[in-house]
Structure 1
Amino acid sequence: MQKELANEKLILANIATGDQQAFGILFNFYRNKVYGYALAILQEETAAEEIVQDVFIKLWVKRQSLPIIENFGGFLRTIARNETLNALKKVALEQKKHQIANQNTTDIDSGTENEIQFRETKKLLETAIEKLPPQQKLIYNLCHIEGLKQKDVAQKLNISPLTVKTHLRDAIKSIKNFLIIHDEIKVVPLLLFFIK
């Protein structure tokens, strides 16, 4: 599977001018990644499809700023994460209102369950990152939290790109092992989106 969109910078520049065909290329390349992430968290196909629409509408609205984005993949992940979290909060709020209206506090709020699961997953992931050796943690955070490219991290830390790649690979392996040990298989789809 192709990991990066060919001529992405050019496509983003064309989208900034209002090129709908270029936007279609971007949409077709990334929509399944956004959908897969949203579905893993929301557990509902229609809601995941709405997240895809919301994310790409937001991209179109902000299209003029796309050419200056250094790491589009990281930027897209951030938007998808925020939109999904907002959807979870909305579902939780609606179901809470419904519960109060029906005076039925025994029903489990699935929206709240999803939000709790998301928080627990995030907390577990943060714990796994904290347990990494200092250099691995630094490189992981620069690449996956701050969204820098591996070559930029190598320059910033004055080390070789191969060293960055090795530390990143080891960090991801350690994080996955930590999650497996803690029986958090439910986070695997989340990792497929956040860790690549």
Structure 2
Amino acid sequence: MDQFYPDMQSADDEALVLRIQQGDNDAFTLFYERHRTSMYLSAYHLLKDEDNANDAVQELFMKVWQSSEQINPTSNIKGYLYTVLRNRILSNMNRSKYFDEYVNSYLAFEQHHPCSTEETVLVRELQHILEEKIEKLPPKMREVYELSWNNQLSNKEIAERLNISEGTVKQHKHQAMRILRSKFPRLVIFAMLFCN
């Protein structure tokens, strides 16, 4: 750290971003050291995988360095970092064959820990996407899906309410999940399960 200017250690994020935008490697290194741990913890909290979390954080800071001119130095820098990281996490989770493990692990954690502000924003975005997709399901399938997920009714209760068999209810639920999971990022399926 001796190579940094004397005032670099005490520089705020705005000053560091301005220096990064001028190609200052030392400012970038300090910026990286300052934010890497919190970004990694957020990534790991959602991904539950060290390699994927590290990859997401590396991609985040690579974007900071390569596209620093897109960062407004006077804006909420940490908010910007979380937004970029969130996009990487969505991409990683959507690609992963371990999606269901992510969901189960996350839900188990959330029973004992409240959502952070960043995660609440993520969930709201996902819920909005999910709601739009649910609206496009066939009417009866959508009704079954909503009674099951929103009203927490059992298959038997749904069957009685809609005057259909329990088997038909199960079929509608299965098809709705299959359609939703195949047509958009799988992550949104669990968005309504936590931070309610």
Question: Structure 2 length normalisation: TM-score?
Answer: 0.49
More helix by share: 1
Largest Rg, 1 or 2? 2
Please give the TM-score of this superposition, normalised by the length of structure 1: 0.49
